[in-house]
């Protein structure tokens, strides 16, 4: 004996869907509106310090700390001209110093971290897992722990008051985070490509340069962007090693506008802070989002 199970009749293709109840549609729209209002309020809360700094750069010195609001009734742009010429050299000189340090740090990290990552991901050698584990442990080592022995070493080498302590260590693969990022990326590249290249007579150098390196552009872009931002915003390391005002970078130069013994130039400092953010905003923001999205998708 067989039992026929009757399935509900299907709607023909192309037939209009039944309308949702009006109350359900209104509730969905209300939830969407509330969600967007909450997100907008959170975004404004996060952006408030930045917007207040921009507003402060357009206010006279006496009114900067008088108004917590963001509305500027009479914008004063002389803070920008005053801040640009306030120090011994124009502010562009210190921007150039920062660009020099950032360029060296980015090149150093790209070269050294990619080579170290290829070795950990593709080459078999003794104690490889132990060395990788030790390298990963250094991620949790605070920078302040090693700053004293590093300063003593660089002082003996005569590198203090130069950009060498800020650039040369980057060519020795000191950033374990970027090495780990690239190791994971290289492990995702099929090893069949290496084997095919090895059959054609390629060694590790050609496999790295002609096969692996072109495929890991997203990881390289992410490394370059984060190195750019972290080096551009670094204050502590640059303050320690740079003592000549003519060699100051942007973060150290901005500190020069604050004087604990006399009146500080808050308006000029805020104006130059806005100027120092422009390179990060113009060049870093678009590539940062693209690099993170590409690497995360990989």
- For position 1, what pLDDT does the model report? 43
pTM of the model: 0.78
Residue 211 CA to residue 205 CA, distance in Å, equals 10
- For position 117, what pLDDT does the model report? 93
**How many other C-beta atoms can be found within 10 angstroms of the C-beta atom of residue 39?**
10
> pLDDT digit of tens for each residue in the chain (298 aa)?
444 445 555 655 555 565 667 778 888 888 999 999 999 999 989 999 989 988 888 888 888 888 777 888 888 888 898 888 888 889 999 999 999 999 999 999 999 999 999 999 999 988 888 998 998 888 888 877 888 899 999 999 999 999 999 999 999 888 889 999 999 999 999 999 989 999 988 899 999 999 999 998 888 988 988 898 889 888 888 899 998 889 999 999 988 888 766 677 888 888 999 988 887 777 666 666 666 665 554 4
- For position 2, what pLDDT does the model report? 45
Could you give the angle at which helices 266-279 and 22-56 cross, rounded to 10 degrees? 120
Residue 107 CA to residue 109 CA, distance in Å, equals 6
The DSSP annotation for 146-177 comes to: HHHHHHHHHHHTT-TTSSHHHHGGGGG---HH
- For position 290, what pLDDT does the model report? 62
Residue 156 CA to residue 275 CA, distance in Å, equals 36
**How many other C-beta atoms can be found within 10 angstroms of the C-beta atom of residue 218?**
18
- For position 15, what pLDDT does the model report? 58
Residue 253 CA to residue 98 CA, distance in Å, equals 10
């Amino acid at each position: 004996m067989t039992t026929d199970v009757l399935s509900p009749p299907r709607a023909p293709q192309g037939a209009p869907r039944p309308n949702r109840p009006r109350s359900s549609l209104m509730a969905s729209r209300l939830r969407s509106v509330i969600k967007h209002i909450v997100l907008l309020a959170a975004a404004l809360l996060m952006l408030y310090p930045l917007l207040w700094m921009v507003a402060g750069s357009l206010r006279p010195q006496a009114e900067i700390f008088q108004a917590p609001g963001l509305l500027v009734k009479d914008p004063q742009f002389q803070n920008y001209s005053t801040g640009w010429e306030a120090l011994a050299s124009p502010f562009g000189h210190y921007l150039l110093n920062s660009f020099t340090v950032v360029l060296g740090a980015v090149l150093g990290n790209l070269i050294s971290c990619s080579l170290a990552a290829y070795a950990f991901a593709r080459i078999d050698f003794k104690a490889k897992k132990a060395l990788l584990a030790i390298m990963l442990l250094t991620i949790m080592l605070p920078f302040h722990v090693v700053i004293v022995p590093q300063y003593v070493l660089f002082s003996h080498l005569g590198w203090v008051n130069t950009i060498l302590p800020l650039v040369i260590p980057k060519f020795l693969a000191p950033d374990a985070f970027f090495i780990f990022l690239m190791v994971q990326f290289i492990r995702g590249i099929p090893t069949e490509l290496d084997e095919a290249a090895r059959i054609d007579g390629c060694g590790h150098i050609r496999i790295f340069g002609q096969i692996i390196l072109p495929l890991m552009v997203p990881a390289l872009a992410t490394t370059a962007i984060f190195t750019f931002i972290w080096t551009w915003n670094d204050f502590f390391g640059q303050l320690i090693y740079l003592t000549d005002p003519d060699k100051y970078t942007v973060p150290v130069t901005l500190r020069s506008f604050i004087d604990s013994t006399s009146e500080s130039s808050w308006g000029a400092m805020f104006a130059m802070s806005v100027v120092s953010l422009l390179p990060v905003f113009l060049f870093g923001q678009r590539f940062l989002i693209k690099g993170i999205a590409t690497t995360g998708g990989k």
